[in-house]
Structures are given as C-alpha cells and as structure tokens.
Amino acid sequence: MSAETAQNARGSGGASLFSDQRFRSLFFQALVIGLLGAFLVFIVYNTAHNIEKRGIQTGFAFLDAAAGYDIAISPFMEYTATHTHGRVFLVGLFNTLLVSFLGIIAATFLGVFLGVLRLSPNWLVSRIVYCYVEFTRNVPLLLQILLWYAIFLALPSVKQSITMFNDIIILNKRGLVLPEPLPGDGFMLVPIALVVAIVASIFFARWAKKTQAATGKIYPVFMTNTAMIIGLPLLAFAVTGFPLDFAYAELKGFNFKGGVVIKPEFTALWFALSLYTAAFISETVRAGIQSVSHGQTEASEALGLRPSWTMRLIILPQALRVIIPPMTSQYLNLTKNSSLAVAIGYPDIVQSFGGVTLNQTGQAIEVIFITMLVYLTISLLISAFMNWYNNRVSLVER
C-alpha cells in the first residue's frame, strides 16, 4: 500500500496506465494465467467428453482388482499374480526407489573418487579418468544399459555356473546367488548397538567441538567415531555369540534353490546408471575443487595449517557450494533415468505399473497421473534435502 502511495507521490499522475511498470507486469501476469486457465478447462472438458463418448472406465477402482501377472523382482514384499494392481504399484515404487537409492550412493562415491583422480598430477591416471568420463558421458545411457544386460546374459548357464569360495557365491546368467543371512536369537542387539554408536558419535562430535572452544584441545573426532560405529556393533555381535547363520543355495533340478538372488536386470540397470552418472558427478567435483583458487591453499598453508586441515576447513567448504547444486540435478537425472528399466524388463514403476498394468486396465490417464506424481514427489524430496544441505554448508556470505 505504501508502495502505491509512493508511486502516486512520484507523480506518474494520470499518464498512460500502460506505461506504468507495475501495472504492466500485473497485466501480463494476469493475461498468462487467464490463457493457461482457459486451456486447462478446454483440455479437461474435451477429455471428459471423449471418455464418456467411448465408454472408457474411469476412477481408481482398478487398484483393488487382481493384477493377474507375475513380477520377477520384489525384494521388499510378497507378490504373486493374485495380488492387486495397488500392490503392483507398491512393488514398482520400491524397485524404483531401490535402484535409484543404490545408484545415487554408488555414483556419488565413484564420482567423487574419479573427480579427485582427474586432478591427479599423475599424467596417466588423469588421462585414464578423462577417457572414461568422455566415453561414458557421450554414449547414450540406453545403450549402456543394454550393453551391461548383454554382458550379464552372456554369463555361463546354470549348469556351468561360476562358483566362488566353496560354492558359497554362485554366478550365472540368471544372476548372482549369495547365501541368505538367518539372524538368530540376540541378533537384534547388533542393530541396536549401531544406533547407540551413531547417537554416541553425534554427542562426541558436539562435546569435542565444545571442548576445543573452551580448552583448545583437538580430538580425533572422525577416527574415534568411525571406530565406534564399526566397533560397537561388532562387539555386540561377538558378545551375543555370533548369532548369525547362513542358508546356502543348492542346485535343485534346473535352478538354484535358497540363498539370495540378485537378478541381472537389476545389476545391469544399477551398473549403467551409477557409471553413467558418476562420469557427470566427477566433472562437477573437479570443477568444484578447481573453482577454489590456489591462493586459498597458499594462505592456509602459510598460516601453518596442515594439508588435511586446509582441505577440510578451507577447500571443501568452498568447493561444496559449487558442487551441490549441479549434484542435485545429477541425482534427479539418475532417478528419472531409472525409468529406462523398461528396456531390459527390470520391474520399476514404469515397467510394471505404468506398463503392464496400464495395458491391462486401459486406464491410461489414472496410471500416468499416479506415475508422474511418484516421480514428482521423489524429485521434490531429493531437491528439498539437497537444498537443506546446501543451506547448511553455504550459510552466509556477502
């Protein structure tokens, strides 16, 4: 309101309203919103009209109907053909989350590692990474997924499986078979110990920071916490008398029974997504580290800070700000790229729910709508997390 009076006071007076900057911008915004609204109304009306005319079923009742088809990979919940399309949705969703989550983790570690190697003063190392990055970035992801899938399918058949460690690990064209862990009595203590160790680490880190501020003494926080997080669960495991058995897979008839099977569809997709995204992440990391001028390192070292402290206190905090925003978009890309699963039949949400269920029920609008909503939600969650993290590391400047 005060802005308005100020505007009048400035005395644009009764002159053409259209040359007023504020009015003009309001006018165009209103125009755009109006056109958009009209377009939406038209689409909705038109679709509803056509659906009615052709007698297509609408609504979400199909979610409760039996799906009637099998899904090969459902690690988190039981699934058979008699389960509903709603269950298919959940299975697909979890498969998408699984491959995206593991992909993001693998791509991050590999990407950071490669990014640092790329800056290595060793000519050969840096060249090798350069070639890797250029090759991976410039070949379409779909081809890479198909390539990995072909490689895994070219493994020996079940009868000629490659076995390792006395038949404990078995590899063939149907997948990688690992022993299934069977936790016994008292095993619960191990995850509890892990949680305790993590909580204790947080407290120790805070305490160490306070103590340093008060007395100047510096504790090896990272080493202590790592030891605690690894050591405490191991200790609990030993104290309870190693309550863990394994069920080993055995060849019965034409296939292995028992054990945990990791399917080639999953591995191929996971490898391809991780390796492809890692190439982009490594470039991001390299650019981030290079964006911090060498003068920062020199100033820090001239003050007597060790290289490891210089990295931690000076270089990384500045590099992270440059790295995180593009890193976010790499995570989003990986998640969305996981929908290429459809090419090799990994049952992610697009292949199962958005593919087979859609074809069987014919309710394209609902299915696509739900699937889009899923990606939108995942993406927004990743963005929100990364923005939160970015705000934490960037704090204030200028």
Site for other proteins contains 305 (CB under 8 A)? yes
Q: Which of residues 366-395 bind other proteins (CB under 8 A)?
A: 395
Task: Tell me whether residue 4 or residue 397 sits nearer to other proteins (CB atom).
Answer: 397
Rounded to a whole number of angstroms, the minimum distance from the CB of residue 294 to other proteins is 9
**Can you state the angle between helices 364-394 and 316-337, rounded to 10 degrees?**
170
Whichever of 78 and 397 has its CB closer to other proteins, that residue is: 397
CB of 223 to other proteins, least distance (A): 17
Residue selected from 43, 162, 313, 365 as contacting other proteins according to rule CB under 8 A: 313
The residue within the footprint of other proteins, chosen from 82, 215, 223, 252 (CB under 8 A), is 215
Closest to other proteins by CB, 216 or 253: 216
Among 101, 132, 237, 309, binds other proteins (CB under 8 A): 309
Radius of gyration of the chain (CA): 28
Residue (of 79, 266, 100) closest to 175 by Cα position: 266
Minimum CB separation of residue 296 from other proteins in Å reads: 6
Q: Verify binding: residue 154, other proteins, rule CB under 8 A.
A: no
CB 277 within 8 A of CB 133: no
**Which neighbouring-strand residues pair with 255?**
252
- Residue 320 or 378: which CB sits closer to other proteins? 320
Q: Which x/- pattern over 51-90 shows residues binding other proteins (rule: CB under 8 A)?
A: ----------------------------------------
Tokens of 179: 């022993």
291 interacts with other proteins by CB under 8 A: no
Q: Rule CB under 8 A: choose which of 61, 105, 164, 299 binds other proteins.
A: 299
Residue 63 DSSP label: G
What's the CA gap between 93 and 309, in Å, rounded? 42
When binding is defined by CB under 8 A, the residue of 3, 15, 124, 213 that contacts other proteins is 213
Residue ranges of E strands in 173-315: 175-178, 180-183, 244-247, 250-252, 255-257, 260-262
Task: Give Cβ neighbours of residue 364 (< 8 Å, ≥ 6 apart).
Answer: 358
Select the residue interacting with other proteins from 282, 300, 328, 338 (CB under 8 A). Answer: 300
Counting residues that bind other proteins (by CB under 8 A) gives 29
User: CB–CB of 265/148 below 8 Å?
Assistant: no
Distance separating alpha carbons of residues 373 and 175, to the nearest angstrom? 32
Which residue number, 293 or 387, has a Cβ lying nearer to other proteins? 293
Residue from the set 4, 78, 185, 397 that interacts with other proteins by CB under 8 A: 397
CA distances from 236 to 183, 222, 225, 242 (A): 13, 21, 17, 9
Q: Which is nearer to other proteins, 157 or 212 (CB)?
A: 212
DSSP helix/strand/coil, 84: strand
Q: Between residues 52 and 298, which has the closer beta carbon with respect to other proteins?
A: 298
Tracing tokens 């690894």 back to the chain, one arrives at 230
Q: Judged by CB under 8 A, which of 296, 359, 387, 391 binds other proteins?
A: 296
CA distances from 74 to 132, 139, 152 (A): 33, 30, 20
Determine which residue in the list 3, 6, 154, 214 makes contact with other proteins, applying CB under 8 A. 214
Q: Closest separation between CB of residue 119 and other proteins, Å?
A: 19
Q: Which of 86, 258, 317, 326 binds other proteins (CB under 8 A)?
A: 317
Determine if 48 is a binding residue for other proteins (CB under 8 A): no
Name which position in 125, 218, 234, 373 contacts other proteins (CB under 8 A): 218
Q: Which DSSP symbol is given to 266? A: H
Rounded to the nearest 5°, which phi and psi values hold at 95?
A: -65, -40
Select 57 or 293, whichever has its Cβ closest to other proteins.
293
318 lies in the site for other proteins, by CB under 8 A: yes
| Burial (Cβ within 10 Å: 0-12, 13-18, ≥19) of residue 280 | buried
Query: Please, which residues have CB within 8 angstroms of residue 70's CB and are 6 or more apart in sequence?
Result: 80, 81
- Interface positions with other proteins (CB under 8 A): 212-218, 293, 295-296, 298-306, 309, 313-314, 317-318, 321, 395-398
